[in-house]
Amino acid sequence: MTDQTSHFDIVIIGSGPAAFTAAIYTARGGVPTALFGGVAPGGQLLQTMEIENFPGFPEPVAGADLMQNMLKQAARLGTRVFSEEIAAVDFTRHPFSLTAGGGGAYTAGAVIIATGAQARWLGLPSERKFVGKGVSGCATCDGFFFRGRPVCVVGGGDSAAEDALFLTKFASKVYMVHRRDELRAIFRLREKLKANPKIEIIYGHVLEEITGDAKVTGVNLRNVKTGEARHIEVPGVFIAIGHDPATQLFRDKLNLDDEGYIVADCFTATSVYGVFAAGDVMDPHYKQAVVAAGNGCKAAMEALGYLEEIKA
């Protein structure tokens, strides 16, 4: 058996809304809980200045403030929060073994994985400069801010098509910029895009630069065949080229789907009994903080139930 100090009944990996909600429930359930969240805990919401759709905040709340409050709440209830990442896991034996980035070894009766996903970006310096100032990776989150104004969506797959259609509810016009001559989105979505008078698809173009001063004012595009340049004036740019779930650590250890998301059932159970997953790391569809938090709650309740079950 392992050293007492390195064993926790529940270890949570991650530090977004899913991880902290799970920790609030497990620590409040009286179960020794450790949360490993990396050096900059808080997850994707740290990238956004204003959140208007997380319940409980009548005024917009900054992502950093919301996440700091979640951390404090989890810590106040007794969660040991480690500012380290988990670098290796072994789920083949129980208790499960985990190694932190600094080399510390830990064991856990149950593990909750809430490592999230990263929106893919184009990698342009101007894109980085304007994230939160007109550039967004989340139409559901930020579309509302562009009511009555034109926006640009970059991408040609299902998520780009869904984002473009969603944005027509707010924007006066939606330019969809795609580098190929045809979209990768499924037929049903392509037909919807065609039928929507607010959408203009600009095929065969890449986004070269986002222009602006303090905020975005437009985009510079280039035709991939002719090299011709085009400028469009838009205050909002939505990058919709996919997400990368943070599951490198779990390859060959848990069932992952084709895109690398952890396969978990509606009770957050993964392919290993006693290992649960919550939030964007197992949710290719919703990608919303409140959904991640809800899943974190489910994972915590399932993990508590599992610990009871194996003790009996």
Active site residue 158: no
From 9, 141, 152, 163, the catalytic residue: 141
Query: Least distance (Å) from ligand FAD to the CB of residue 30?
Result: 23
The angle formed by the CA atoms of residues 222, 161 and 60, to the nearest 5 degrees, is 95
Angle between helix axes 63-76 and 17-28 (nearest 10 degrees) is: 20
Query: Least distance (Å) from ligand FAD to the CB of residue 288?
Result: 4
From 65, 90, 138, 181, the catalytic residue: 138
Contact between 97 and ligand FAD by CB under 6 A: the answer reads no
Q: Evaluate whether 211 touches 126 at the Cβ level (below 8 Å).
A: yes
Residues 132-161 that bind ligand FAD (CB under 6 A): 136-138, 141
For residue 236, give the nearest of 156, 142, 299 by alpha carbon.
142
Q: Evaluate whether 139 touches 116 at the Cβ level (below 8 Å).
A: no
Cα 245 to chain center, whole Å?
8
Q: How far is CA 230 from CA 67, 202, 203, 210, 213, in A?
A: 40, 11, 12, 12, 19
Contact between 245 and ligand FAD by CB under 6 A: the answer reads no
How many CB atoms sit inside 10 A of residue 29's CB?
Answer: 17
Contact between 115 and ligand FAD by CB under 6 A: the answer reads yes
Residue 249 CB-density burial (10 A; 0-12 exposed, 13-18 middle, 19+ buried): middle
Q: Which of 249, 272, 297, 301 binds ligand FAD (CB under 6 A)?
A: 249
Contact between 114 and ligand FAD by CB under 6 A: the answer reads yes
Active site residue 141: yes
Residue 144 CB-density burial (10 A; 0-12 exposed, 13-18 middle, 19+ buried): middle
Contact between 19 and ligand FAD by CB under 6 A: the answer reads yes
Contact between 86 and ligand FAD by CB under 6 A: the answer reads yes
Whole-angstrom Cα distance, residue 17 to residue 116? 9
Query: Any idea what DSSP says for residue 263?
Result: P
Task: Give the x/- contact pattern for ligand FAD in 40-79, rule: CB under 6 A.
Answer: --xxxx-xx--x-xx-------------------------
Contact between 83 and ligand FAD by CB under 6 A: the answer reads no
Active site residue 266: no
Pick 254 or 289: Cβ nearer ligand FAD: 289
Residues 291-310 that bind ligand FAD (CB under 6 A): 292
From 3, 9, 65, 142, the catalytic residue: 142
List, by residue number, the catalytic residues: 138, 141-142
Residues in touch with ligand FAD (CB under 6 A): 13-19, 36-38, 42-45, 47-48, 51, 53-54, 85-86, 114-117, 119, 136-138, 141, 246, 249, 279-281, 287-290, 292
